[in-house]
Amino acid sequence: MSTYPPTLCGLASFTASLRAALPPGSAGSVVRAVESADAAGGPEVAGDLVAGSPASCRAAAALLDRDDVAIVQHEYGIYGGADGEDVLRVLELLRTPAIVVLHTVLSAPTPHQRAVLNGVVAAAAAIVVMSETARARLVAGYDVPAGRLVVIPHGAPDTGVAAAVPHHSQHRQILTWGLLGPGKGIEWGIEAMALLPAQWPEPRYVVAGRTHPKVLAQQGENYRRSLLLRTERLGVRDRVRFDSRYLAAASLQRLVSRAEVVLLPYDSRDQVTSGVLIEAVTARTPVVATRFPHAVELLSGGAGLLVDHRDPAAIAQALQQILTDRAAAGRMAAAAGIAARDLGWASVATQYSRLGAQLVSAQSPVVA
């Protein structure tokens, strides 16, 4: 149960990728979380969980009960009710064991957010977080049932080799991608481009992705327009390119393969899971990231450089180091290769399959 394509969001992509990587015959069906009754999905979509509908909660639970194990993605913003509390109604009705995957673990939640997450973990047969940071934060701040907590990383496509960067190109590409909106920190990346010294080939900052649908509904394209105005004010319009498409997996992989650096200048100091970070590491591309928790953890082995939040000068210095020191960039790519060994979707799906089999086995009656 999750958002699911054609919905555009990270959880939808995560769920589709995980389902595709599960062993044949074990993937089951999808209950799709939606704001309102929507067009039918693919044949794998068994039904929708419509926000704010008690009848839909009952129907969703009944659909999930058809399978041996339910995998429920949790993020406060994807379910109906205050802080997504509709998910509690579904979990309370479930008879089949549920693996709940936590995409966000807040360090300073509101009392109601804490109550919702405590209710979610209490109802889960197993709780999955995607980083050790998330595990530690969950244990320290929430009521976690003993023995139910597992760390399984966010998956990513993994070819097993470093991307071949075309050094003869006119531009050396710095890349940020994902759904666009305030908090992504793109403005700091743009300001960093204005601080980079002139060099050849010229560095170009590519910002790829549509505006997040919820941001678009509430604010339109104000954030994107503000970024364009910033490039003009700083005189770097020719150094920054916006690609507003939502790229399919193959197109995204080609784009990442052309990048020499992935830049994640996020404002968040709370983010314990980043799918974009995982994809950059599995592509063996050096990363420059602000010190959000997942980046601090994943880049500790040397796969990139950490910078302070909202610090264009530090970003520019880190970018310049990677662009000019090929030996350092090579060491980062090698460190990313080591970190990537367990991050491919095949490895991640195997871990979910094993966890599901353990839950089914635990429920099976003992035959004398």
Is residue 136's pLDDT more than 60? Answer: yes
Q: What is the pLDDT of residue 367?
A: 42
Residue closest to 316 by CA, chosen among 327, 326, 305, 300: 305
* Block residue for tokens 């089999």: 357
Contact 310, 185 (CB under 8 A): yes
Q: What is the pLDDT of residue 317?
A: 98
Mean pLDDT of the chain: 92
CATH number for the domain running over 10-155+344-363 = 3.40.50.2000
- Please tell me the distance from the alpha carbon of residue 70 to that of residue 342, in angstroms, as a whole number: 23
Is residue 232's pLDDT more than 90? Answer: yes
Q: Give the pLDDT confidence of 246-260 residue by residue, as tens digits.
A: 787 788 888 998 999
Task: Give the residue with greater pLDDT, 161 vs 340.
Answer: 340
Q: Torsion over CA of 196, 201, 202 and 208, rounded to 10 degrees?
A: -110
171-342: CATH class? alpha beta
Structure tokens, 285: 């591309």
Q: What is the pLDDT of residue 145?
A: 86
* Block residue for tokens 């090579």: 330
pLDDT interval class at 158 (50, 70, 90): confident
The DSSP secondary structure of 44-68, one letter per residue, reads TEEEEEETT-HHHHHHHHHHHTTSS
Q: What is the pLDDT of residue 247?
A: 81
Find the mean pLDDT for residues 154-160. Answer: 84
The reply to whether 10-155+344-363 and 171-342 are identical in fold is: yes
Q: What is the pLDDT of residue 250?
A: 82
pLDDT interval class at 365 (50, 70, 90): low
* Block residue for tokens 């481009």: 193
Residue closest to 36 by CA, chosen among 102, 97, 94, 80: 80
Find the mean pLDDT for residues 161-173. Answer: 62
Whole-number CA gyration radius for the chain = 21
- Please tell me the distance from the alpha carbon of residue 292 to that of residue 294, in angstroms, as a whole number: 6
Q: For the chain, give every domain's residue range.
A: 10-155+344-363, 171-342
pLDDT interval class at 366 (50, 70, 90): very low
Find the mean pLDDT for residues 133-140. Answer: 95
Residue closest to 311 by CA, chosen among 288, 287, 290: 290
Q: Indicate the range of 24-38, 166-180, 344-358 predicted with least confidence.
A: 166-180
Q: What is the pLDDT of residue 162?
A: 59
Question: Which residues have C-beta within 8 Å of that of residue 135, sequence separation ≥ 6?
Answer: 129, 149, 151
Is residue 170's pLDDT more than 70? Answer: no
- Please tell me the distance from the alpha carbon of residue 335 to that of residue 324, in angstroms, as a whole number: 18
Is residue 119's pLDDT more than 80? Answer: yes
- Please tell me the distance from the alpha carbon of residue 325 to that of residue 342, in angstroms, as a whole number: 28
Task: Give the residue with greater pLDDT, 163 vs 84.
Answer: 84
* Block residue for tokens 């980079």: 196
- Please tell me the distance from the alpha carbon of residue 304 to that of residue 295, in angstroms, as a whole number: 9
pLDDT interval class at 24 (50, 70, 90): confident
Find the mean pLDDT for residues 28-51. Answer: 89
Cα-based angle 348, 73, 297 (whole degrees, multiple of 5) = 55
Is residue 364's pLDDT more than 70? Answer: no
Is residue 159's pLDDT more than 90? Answer: no
Per cent of the chain over pLDDT 70 is 95
Helix (H, G, I), strand (E, B) or coil at 354: helix
Residue closest to 270 by CA, chosen among 88, 141, 105, 122: 105
Find the mean pLDDT for residues 319-326. Answer: 96
CA distances from 124 to 78, 81, 101, 335, 355 (A): 18, 19, 10, 35, 13
Is residue 163's pLDDT more than 80? Answer: no
